[in-house]
Structure 1
């Protein structure tokens, strides 16, 4: 790309003046960022075109990953690293008096996701490109994404996320490839050439305009595509109330996860889901048709993967295209559809398995409902033949039942593969949550434990640790992350461990500066940085964490002889706007922080920080600085987790339950290098099934619990009145659904153990190094290779390394 920094500087300065129409001295940081971004994207475009041409000429199978979320984060430095030009660019800019970090600050986080689901999708795209696998993403180009979180007086306040305010330098708008997506209207049935045909008429259409983002592979010339659809008014539709139509149209790609507590929000969510799959499926078929004559062979050349239940309408939409546009018969269309589509389940939570009321689904998507209804009728006939007379079983497995369309059931029936995302999660699906489907389709179910792209979560976010690793074992681990195992040879090397300690301290200094800037709080970098950052949900149990901090506060205040290793507790989390209980927990965390941080007796031993607007770029500063990783979900509730892997890769030690991928992390590092506590999944599920848990007994018999629960409502927090009554009621009156009080004593004990272990710095560093060395298994490269081999049946098309010209 640039053979040296001199050449880079010449091209950069020339492009800056041409693009911005001003001299270098007059240019702003934004001008410079835009110029550099455009240069990189234009350079990438050549390989982007070549990659697509290679896929077409090779006629290899391609996979399309459909996800309602893609949490990309910032792409500038990530792309520079993957292209291998980060040093040249950094040095060239430095000689011009420009700090690359400052330009990266200008870039907005691509706010296209909420949490692990969206970040996983982004990691998967990175691994597909890095492994030269023909795989692309399809999502929605949300104008405002989720929301920007502000904390005002301890409360979460949601503001529109403005990530597109200054455009997005990485995207290419392709209006010529737009697709009209229909809603409402009615279906006409006609007989033509002896067969029934169906036509969707009087529909209100929305134009789906694709914006393509290049996905750059590491040290390779493979560039795959993330296609994001934007909703725009149709130029072909005459509407009696054009302003209302425009507002409703643009709302489809305005916000991620609109509030669905009312019908208006439900309709908008369902519109989003069909908008995504209809535009994507028809775009995929259009590309396929340019290459191949026989639609009957679609599944041999195309794989479509649905990431959780949000894109499940891909199944009836593909059926609709094959039936209504390609004129195939039902059996043939169904065979192609089921062999093309595969499904990942991400939850065991019943409320997260989407169900849509027929009264909303049928009028909004009349033809799609007809097809889903037919799928259901045929499926129920199949069940009747296998289980004659077992009405309860058939009723429970039906796709349509009790006036609802069950999306997870449709996903299982209409796909050839159903995978969980951690060993325990898959086992729970098979043995409990989806056992009836597993009995019917045992061959469909498989496990693919999640992974993270180490190129972003280590190489990019922790350059100091990356340099130390490369000094120790070379750099081939960047392409083959399992080679991190070689670090174990340094466990008894004092000099290496000292350097590891210094890296952690420097990262803590950097995060401490961010905390000071954002919150005004000074934190002690010699304290244990104990961190819980993730989506705010009751099952993730941020509540357990903050109640434990209240317990520590009480101990310090009551017992002058009590001492503990100083600890800084750091939280970051967004609560869904309509999830009032989760928002109460955010307020509680901030109320505890105010109490602790302003108490001179306590603040020398404990500090509490809530970092607002948790996002990818903030996460990249948090993970490298962590000493302790809080992964404390109620066992059986967290499907996998990926934050646990990011912390592990950056040398933090896990405090966790035997849930999700924590179990596999424990298997990797051994019992002595992780801190496990609390109920097992089997114990939790037994409580749910057979009862026997009475939270009031734990409240009554454990003074520590009684004190902290009483403090929620007894005036301990000034000026909050009955603010936390909802939390107190959930723990006592509603019998503590997520077993916070049941695990409280165990959590206290394991946290005490953490403090004692941290005092032995040499041993702690050995444990940290062992976690890093064994984290390579949790690279998304491993996960994607398993998907490619076991589910998608795709193989690398391009193995030639990148030529830097």
Structure 2
């Protein structure tokens, strides 16, 4: 948008007066933040309305991205950047004696996601608007989000993260668009005089779903799409006769939209999670159908104007819910309703971990969602009947939705969609050949790959402005809208001046992060050290343990020989463990205990430090990633679907230390073997171990002296305060088979780390590698990923830019 500094300052002072009836000299940072947020919304509101009106007038086909998570990050600077007024506002505020960075820190970091899944969804909706794709997000407005992570004596403690405590300046409550969602009760079907089966309900629980809309601003293009998040409320009641019964009912209903991923270690927690999944699915689809009817088109044409995307299995109930509406409310016959549903739906699989492929007990679904369960049974019956004539009985049984007393959500999403995609080339291959091989035999044409991506706007233009400025000086700014133009940087790979500038920027970012750690953790870290970063969910397959065992091996080496030739290292962790994931929480405690041991050992000094940041999220990532030298992507090959931290770190010039897992394979192909450090088992070797059962983890403990000493250090009192956790980890690796081959890959990992150590000592060579990584990162922009979704899956229009 076109905005002068003078006009902005006038508008800001006027808005401050309107909202707070005060002058700038009287205002504090919070008032300034809310004022600026309201002003930005006012700037964008016209284009928001125009975008929606244009979609309606032109009867545009629109896509709806259903996701349990949207890990948005702070939106203030992102909206300013995308509106094209970041520098104007920053300069204008400076004239008024206000620091934009201080204001930005006031904004809460919405905890609406847990990791890559939610951050991907956030990148996608940003890229959809930027690529002029008529597409919107649909999720839940969690009051408390995931949880606020605190470390108490090294243990993870979960606290509520009330990010909505002071309101959310970006959202608009749309009470007129609220819908009812039905749970529980009894349902039976009666045939009408027209021969149609009509459902009848009794003793249901009605929940009011109220939408809160947030504008999603496209980059410099006047397009503003919508993220719609639903809040659960008690429907209006005029005849409350029992106050305490009403309060109990209200608390029960409002709990649906309170916490992301409630504790699933008990029945009540699992039931609440299923409620959440149906709640936002039903509310979202009802809203879509209501909007579609404004076009005065037959329901037979729904797939021509609507695409619904199921992001992981959480929204898989989209399939039976759309069928319910088409059958029960629109009175379509089964065959036509099913054809419409399949053509509307598409599904992204984000995992090959069997425990992440959700399944729900029949009793739970039939009690909570009786009509939905009836429809699921009929889908399953018809699928089984049809496929029994085409395939062997074993394949049919393995691909059924209902099996072993459970409803399998991934199976429902696959059967009920016209497209099933993986999120990296390797991941998609494993889905087709291993995890979902039976389905690939049944539906080969459904399967396709769409490698994940990230938005360079947040992860470079906002998170690393010094690097962004350098790139613009070297190659211009066309890469901001055509990210593959970053490849032009390769022309400077042998230019010493550019490489030294790159090194200076990295040093500056490291100094800034060191200042943050000193301020927040009272820990001094050395910016001249290698900043070695592993930031992701804490899960055994991601192998934070492998990293920790290596750190211990370096520690013992330095204890034996304080003059050992080891370049100083700062190992940086950021991770949350699911509240019920005991083993992951034990690993967190163990890392913190090792950190306490090493960080306070005067004999080690600055040679080794461990930083485990609390409450890792988007805003912390924006500080860590620009400062990273090494990107740890060390999951067991065949387990990580894609990864996106690998792309963010690569974009900021970190060197990837990786197994050939997920998108690491494609990063290697993009930058070449010399500009990435690869180690460890390959996917085929992992599956060979599974096939022949020959892996014996104890033999590595017994035959590798370094590993033997490190593992003994877990149980011999070397690590104070973590005796129980050390024993648990030791037993998991040595006694109980080492499920993720940590010991098998340890020696190769240690050798790869030695290689990193030597590479880093040659500044120009290291920066050349960093530059080549930055130059190759453009292809991993989420702009390109969503354009592929738009053209190849959703069949919606987009502004296509060359890859």
Deviation of the 1:733 alpha carbon? 1.5
1:642 alignment counterpart? 644
Confirm or deny: 8 A CA contact 2:128 2:135 kept in the other structure.
yes
Q: Could you tell me how far apart the structure 1 residues matched to 2:594 and 2:800 are?
A: 54
1:19 match: secondary structure: helix
Matched, 1:382 2:383: no
Deviations 1:450-498 (A, max 9, x none): 0000011001111000000000011111000010000011111111111
Matched, 1:413 2:430: no
Deviation of the 1:65 alpha carbon? 0.2
Q: Pick from 265, 268, 272: which aligns with 2:269?
A: 265
In the superposition, relative to structure 1, how do residues 451 and 797 fare at CA in structure 2: closer, same or farther (>3 Å)? closer
Q: Could you tell me how far apart the structure 2 residues matched to 1:740 and 1:517 are?
A: 35
Q: Pick from 612, 615, 622: which aligns with 2:614?
A: 612
2:25 match: secondary structure: coil
Matched, 1:356 2:360: yes
2:215 alignment counterpart? 214
Deviation of the 1:189 alpha carbon? 1.5
Q: Could you tell me how far apart the structure 1 residues matched to 2:755 and 2:116 are?
A: 29
Deviation of the 1:236 alpha carbon? 4.6
Q: Could you tell me how far apart the structure 2 residues matched to 1:251 and 1:237 are?
A: 22
1:291 match: secondary structure: coil
Q: Could you tell me how far apart the structure 1 residues matched to 2:544 and 2:747 are?
A: 16
Q: Could you tell me how far apart the structure 2 residues matched to 1:767 and 1:781 are?
A: 25
Q: Could you tell me how far apart the structure 1 residues matched to 2:656 and 2:633 are?
A: 7
Deviation of the 1:90 alpha carbon? 0.4
Confirm or deny: 8 A CA contact 1:204 1:237 kept in the other structure.
no
Confirm or deny: 8 A CA contact 2:214 2:227 kept in the other structure.
yes
Q: Could you tell me how far apart the structure 1 residues matched to 2:490 and 2:205 are?
A: 62
Matched, 1:278 2:282: yes
Q: Could you tell me how far apart the structure 2 residues matched to 1:788 and 1:139 are?
A: 20
1:603 match: secondary structure: coil
Deviation of the 1:21 alpha carbon? 1.8
Q: Could you tell me how far apart the structure 1 residues matched to 2:657 and 2:356 are?
A: 26
Q: Pick from 742, 749, 752: which aligns with 1:750?
A: 752
Matched, 1:794 2:796: yes
Confirm or deny: 8 A CA contact 1:60 1:797 kept in the other structure.
no
Confirm or deny: 8 A CA contact 1:316 1:368 kept in the other structure.
yes
Confirm or deny: 8 A CA contact 1:54 1:797 kept in the other structure.
no
Q: Which range is displaced more, 561-570 or 294-303?
A: 561-570
1:7 alignment counterpart? 7
Q: Pick from 770, 773, 776: which aligns with 1:774?
A: 776
In the superposition, relative to structure 1, how do residues 366 and 238 fare at CA in structure 2: closer, same or farther (>3 Å)? farther
Q: Could you tell me how far apart the structure 2 residues matched to 1:637 and 1:423 are?
A: 13
Deviation of the 1:237 alpha carbon? 8.7
Confirm or deny: 8 A CA contact 1:205 1:237 kept in the other structure.
no
Matched, 1:202 2:203: yes
In the superposition, relative to structure 1, how do residues 237 and 346 fare at CA in structure 2: closer, same or farther (>3 Å)? farther
2:723 match: secondary structure: coil
Alignment of 1:250-399 (within 5 A): 250-387=254-391, 390-399=392-401
Confirm or deny: 8 A CA contact 1:68 1:139 kept in the other structure.
yes
Which residues of structure 2 form unaligned runs of 5+?
Answer: none
Deviation of the 1:354 alpha carbon? 0.2
Q: Could you tell me how far apart the structure 1 residues matched to 2:239 and 2:146 are?
A: 31
Q: Could you tell me how far apart the structure 2 residues matched to 1:145 and 1:561 are?
A: 47
Q: Could you tell me how far apart the structure 1 residues matched to 2:504 and 2:162 are?
A: 37
Q: Could you tell me how far apart the structure 2 residues matched to 1:125 and 1:238 are?
A: 42
Q: Pick from 471, 475, 478: which aligns with 2:480?
A: 478
Confirm or deny: 8 A CA contact 2:234 2:250 kept in the other structure.
yes
1:184 alignment counterpart? 184
Q: Could you tell me how far apart the structure 1 residues matched to 2:591 and 2:122 are?
A: 30
1:16 match: secondary structure: helix
Q: Could you tell me how far apart the structure 1 residues matched to 2:378 and 2:234 are?
A: 32
TM value normalised by structure 1: 0.98
Q: Which range is displaced more, 601-610 or 474-483?
A: 601-610
In the superposition, relative to structure 1, how do residues 397 and 759 fare at CA in structure 2: closer, same or farther (>3 Å)? same
Deviations 1:393-420 (A, max 9, x none): 2222110011100001101100000000
Q: Pick from 667, 670, 693: which aligns with 1:668?
A: 670
Confirm or deny: 8 A CA contact 2:589 2:722 kept in the other structure.
no
Deviation of the 1:560 alpha carbon? 4.1
Q: Which range is displaced more, 630-639 or 184-193?
A: 184-193
Deviations 1:679-716 (A, max 9, x none): 00111112122210000010110111111111111111
2:18 alignment counterpart? 18
1:556 alignment counterpart? 558
Deviation of the 1:219 alpha carbon? 0.7
Q: Could you tell me how far apart the structure 2 residues matched to 1:183 and 1:483 are?
A: 51
Q: Could you tell me how far apart the structure 1 residues matched to 2:140 and 2:116 are?
A: 17
Matched, 1:106 2:110: no
1:172 alignment counterpart? 172
Deviations 1:75-97 (A, max 9, x none): 00000000110111000100111
Q: Which range is displaced more, 716-725 or 34-43?
A: 716-725
Confirm or deny: 8 A CA contact 2:590 2:722 kept in the other structure.
no
Deviation of the 1:559 alpha carbon? 2.8
Confirm or deny: 8 A CA contact 2:143 2:258 kept in the other structure.
yes
Q: Could you tell me how far apart the structure 1 residues matched to 2:411 and 2:757 are?
A: 46
Q: Could you tell me how far apart the structure 1 residues matched to 2:562 and 2:536 are?
A: 34
Deviation of the 1:751 alpha carbon? 0.1
1:38 alignment counterpart? 38
Deviations 1:581-610 (A, max 9, x none): 111111111111111111122232111110
Confirm or deny: 8 A CA contact 2:463 2:626 kept in the other structure.
yes
Deviation of the 1:111 alpha carbon? 1.3
Confirm or deny: 8 A CA contact 2:65 2:138 kept in the other structure.
yes
Deviations 1:735-760 (A, max 9, x none): 00000000000000000000000001
1:803 alignment counterpart? none
1:586 alignment counterpart? 588
Deviations 1:346-365 (A, max 9, x none): 00000000000011110100
2:246 alignment counterpart? 242
Matched, 1:505 2:507: yes
In the superposition, relative to structure 1, how do residues 539 and 73 fare at CA in structure 2: closer, same or farther (>3 Å)? same
1:743 match: secondary structure: helix
Matched, 1:651 2:681: no
2:229 alignment counterpart? 228
Alignment of 1:426-445 (within 5 A): 426-445=428-447
In the superposition, relative to structure 1, how do residues 238 and 403 fare at CA in structure 2: closer, same or farther (>3 Å)? farther
Q: Could you tell me how far apart the structure 1 residues matched to 2:423 and 2:800 are?
A: 28
In the superposition, relative to structure 1, how do residues 236 and 343 fare at CA in structure 2: closer, same or farther (>3 Å)? farther
Matched, 1:446 2:464: no
Which residues of structure 1 form unaligned runs of 5+?
Answer: 800-805
Q: Which range is displaced more, 41-50 or 193-202?
A: 193-202
TM value normalised by structure 2: 0.98
Q: Could you tell me how far apart the structure 2 residues matched to 1:217 and 1:612 are?
A: 32
Number of residue pairs the alignment of both structures matches: 797
1:802 alignment counterpart? none
Q: Could you tell me how far apart the structure 2 residues matched to 1:35 and 1:331 are?
A: 54
Deviation of the 1:201 alpha carbon? 2.8
Q: Could you tell me how far apart the structure 2 residues matched to 1:14 and 1:440 are?
A: 63
2:629 alignment counterpart? 627
Q: Could you tell me how far apart the structure 2 residues matched to 1:682 and 1:237 are?
A: 64
Q: Could you tell me how far apart the structure 1 residues matched to 2:395 and 2:107 are?
A: 53
Q: Could you tell me how far apart the structure 2 residues matched to 1:439 and 1:96 are?
A: 65
Deviation of the 1:798 alpha carbon? 12
2:19 match: secondary structure: helix
Deviations 1:88-141 (A, max 9, x none): 100010011100000000000121100000000000001100011100000000
2:60 alignment counterpart? 60
2:126 alignment counterpart? 126
